[in-house]
Chain A
């Protein structure tokens, strides 16, 4: 098992590096061979990484997203896979060097700091939670890509406004395509976020049924993190509806995408800072001495099992 994981640890960054290299080659030269190869290499990498992640999951008997290093690897996979879907749908390859570069960075960090069996939450063994976590990851990755494409739109828009006809002008897709990519990413992210929130609620109620009433009260749908996620979902949905029915287009739409992303990041940061509750999955956190309540869901589950005995 250790040998296999070690091989993956070396293989994955190499594959991502090759993909990134091909996309850079495409961006700088627009060479037909690069154009032909880049998507294929990205597909192969996604397939290989999925197999690798699944194997790791089977070997560890849990979702391999518990440790930060594992999370970075999963983020790289989500980013590349989401980008690939958008690229194939929109048929625009020249923005790939940015996304694949970030994916490479994440997988490199993830592989460099990975351990064979980090201490993680027992929740990661639960299929319901695993599905919820994967959906959340893909949803927020899609939102991040929307931000990235919107930024590219605004940069190209600025260059055109200033009559600068450099490399970005020659290689980047049209403003219209960049906008479609940004909106397309949101179109992917919104249903994924909705599904993940619904699944999260179902899983939470299922978990509450398995705990005593005092503990179950901790699992509230009014948790600030859940509420803020619903607000984010609502915000992006309004944006999509405006784009579809009210003709929100162009620079305004892309500024909104950038602002929305910064709002999401800031709101999430604030909520996680001020309301550290059951969305924390580290298994070795101390129980709060002041409140007497467990700080993490893992601790909550462990206490519940103890109480049952």
Chain B
């Protein structure tokens, strides 16, 4: 059984450290495992109860992503957590001084837990409310559990953090709305079309930006994606890559693995996400058939010209055509915007959408913080009860022991039915006595009063006093 513990966190994140510092502080999974072995290093006993290491550390959970490296520690109260961490980091060859520089923040107790909850909810993320951090925290927790059983405090804190994160994401709109250019493009397209699966997109250009935008459209199950590029070979290479990624994403989804950023939405009928390639000469035909045009070439002159679009519009029976020009310099001739039923958007428009969404997310902060405070109260209640649990368990064992003796005595004198009835009755009695005792202990006005009550209970019913 471990005694009272305290929680600590050391954090290097995008708010207090530049990229180069965060790069140096990054702990890859191997090094994180080594740190856990160096500091914790003690597997749980056969009852899954963790024990402290010789230096007083109960458990350690490192979390390292591109925007933050944080080390959560649970130590026996009174242990110098900073010294412990410094030694551990030095032992695994990490730059320990970095974690004690002006780029690192240190929190402990409830503040550390509040920070963890905020991180889990995406409130500490660079893009407010981003959802990936939740999966990254879960991965870190899973890795830690595979090395050693986390201490009760850290275990409870992480479980609370996952719950808080989930509540914030479901009960607020903190994660709603695109905050990246590629996703904003999809969001904009969805203002025109309800189900992208019923529509056709043309990607003009096969560069990196185009690939990213195409991935987002495929993630949202665009029906058909046609890649048109001056170099047909490059278009085919991109199409092959996208096909392979989509297949892998769908397989992963079917296997219930944690879907990555671009894991596609379920497509049980396999109707969506068809990828094809067309030569540059057929661009006008492709425009006529498409509902969404994504233009991302590196051309220095516009490649989508008014006469091409007018020819396409004539064949569209009044259906709107959504053209997104995310190339610099622009790919779409400015006069195209004047053609009826054509909607052209550029990078400035997408930026406007992103800024609007970020402002809307920021508006959700008070609600999200309220949820975190709610969950913190829950954690605090648990923390307050944790010290009474061992004594209550001893008291319960004592009462159970007494009951068994009494039932044994009755069984000798009476029938089994009578003994069973007495057993049930005493069980109820124990439940009521325990319930009353726990509530009295919980309702103690001060910490001292509670300790006094606990001491009295221990003195009366301690195991060594049993007859």
Contact = CB atoms under 8 A, between A and B. Distances in A.
Contacts of A175: 191-193, 320
B345 A251 contact: no
A8 B352 CA distance: 49
A160 B173 contact: no
Interface stretch (A100-108, A166-174, A275-283): A166-174
B412 interface: no
A253 B171 contact: no
Contacts of B191: 156, 160, 169, 174-175
Interface of A: 29-33, 156-157, 160-161, 163, 165, 169-170, 173-177, 180, 246-253
A32 B192 contact: no
B434 to A, nearest CB: 38
Nearest to A247: B317
B168 to A, nearest CB: 12
Contacts of A32: 170-171
A251 B194 contact: no
Given A163-B352, A247-B318, 8 more contacts: A156-B191, A170-B360, A174-B190, A174-B191, A174-B194, A248-B318, A251-B341, A253-B318
Contacts of A174: 190-194
Given A175-B320, A176-B194, A30 B352 contact: no
B343 interface: yes
B454 interface: no
A249 B318 contact: yes
A176 B195 CA distance: 9
Contacts of B345: 163
B453 interface: no
A30 B353 CA distance: 17
Nearest to A166: B356
A104 B240 CA distance: 56
Output the residue of B171, B318, B349 with the most chain A CB within 10 A. Answer: B318
Given A174-B192, A249-B317, A249-B318, A165 B343 contact: no
Interface size class of B (residues with CB under 8 A): 20 to 34
B128 interface: no
Nearest 10 pairs of A and B residues by beta carbon: A247-B317, A176-B194, A250-B318, A252-B318, A177-B194, A174-B194, A176-B193, A175-B192, A165-B353, A163-B349
Contacts, number: 58
Nearest to B199: A176
A170 B190 CA distance: 11
A248 B191 CA distance: 20
Given A165-B356, A170-B177, A176 B192 contact: yes
A176 B319 CA distance: 10
Contacts of B192: 160, 174-176
A250 B342 CA distance: 11
21 contacts: A30-B173, A32-B170, A33-B171, A156-B191, A157-B320, A160-B192, A163-B345, A163-B352, A165-B353, A165-B356, A169-B191, A170-B360, A174-B194, A176-B193, A176-B194, A180-B194, A246-B317, A247-B317, A250-B318, A251-B320, A252-B318
B176 interface: yes
A251 B357 CA distance: 27
**Chain B interface mostly helix, strand, loop or mixed?**
loop
Contacts of B173: 29-31
Contacts of B349: 163, 165
Contacts of B356: 165, 170
A175 B320 CA distance: 10
Nearest to A157: B320
Nearest to B192: A175
A249 B192 CA distance: 12
Interface string B157-179: 00000000000001101001100
A250 B318 CA distance: 6
A253 B199 CA distance: 19
Contacts of A156: 191
A242 to B, nearest CB: 10
A18 B278 CA distance: 55
A252 B320 CA distance: 10
Nearest to A91: B194
Contacts of B353: 165
A243 to B, nearest CB: 11
Contact of A165 (B193, B194, B319, B352): B352
Contacts of B190: 174
Contacts of B176: 30
A175 B189 CA distance: 10
A7 B329 CA distance: 68
Given A165-B356, A174-B191, A176-B194, A251 B171 contact: no
A307 to B, nearest CB: 59
Contacts of A169: 191
A303 B176 CA distance: 68
A157 B319 CA distance: 12
Given A156-B191, A174-B190, A251 B352 contact: no
A67 B362 CA distance: 51
A94 B106 CA distance: 45
A301 to B, nearest CB: 51
B343 A160 contact: yes
Contacts of A253: 318
A250 B193 contact: no
A268 to B, nearest CB: 29
B91 to A, nearest CB: 47
Contacts of B318: 247-253
B322 to A, nearest CB: 9
Contacts of B193: 174-176
A248 B356 CA distance: 34
A176 B173 CA distance: 24
Nearest to B170: A32
B269 to A, nearest CB: 19
Contacts of A251: 318, 320, 341
A156 B171 CA distance: 28
Nearest to A164: B352
B373 to A, nearest CB: 19
A32 B360 CA distance: 15
Output the residue of B170, B176, B194, B356 with the most chain A CB within 10 A. Answer: B194
